[in-house]
Amino acid sequence: MNNSSSSEISDERDDYPEITQADLDHATFRVGFKPAPRQQRVTILLDTGLVEYFKAQAGEGGYQTLINETLRQAVDRDDLEERLRRLIREEMRRGVVAAGVP
């Protein structure tokens, strides 16, 4: 059995520049061709009961992921509620204008 490699190892540096933190900060991370959501590490104090609840709900999964998903749903729900309120106000104004009410 031959242990030699089919390609030589070169001591020459690559032609590619070194990646800096600034490069990473401006990068778009992708999964396939779709941009991947970025996350930020934070330190937060939560009530013990909340942490226990999410750990129990998560089971084998990560409780931090479950907390993140719950917060995301709350934000999405608030966005939806605000959009619906704005739409209803606009429709009500149109109805008032169409009816000729000052």
Q: Domain boundaries in the chain?
A: 43-99
First to last CA, the chain: 94
pLDDT tens per residue across span 45-74:
999 999 999 999 998 889 999 999 999 898
Name the more confident of 97 and 84: 84
Dihedral over Cα of 30, 35, 36, 40: its sign: positive
Q: Over range 38-42, report the average pLDDT.
A: 83
The 3-state DSSP class for residue 2 equals coil
Given a cut of 90, whether residue 100 has pLDDT beyond it is no
pLDDT tens per residue across span 3-23:
555 566 666 666 788 888 888
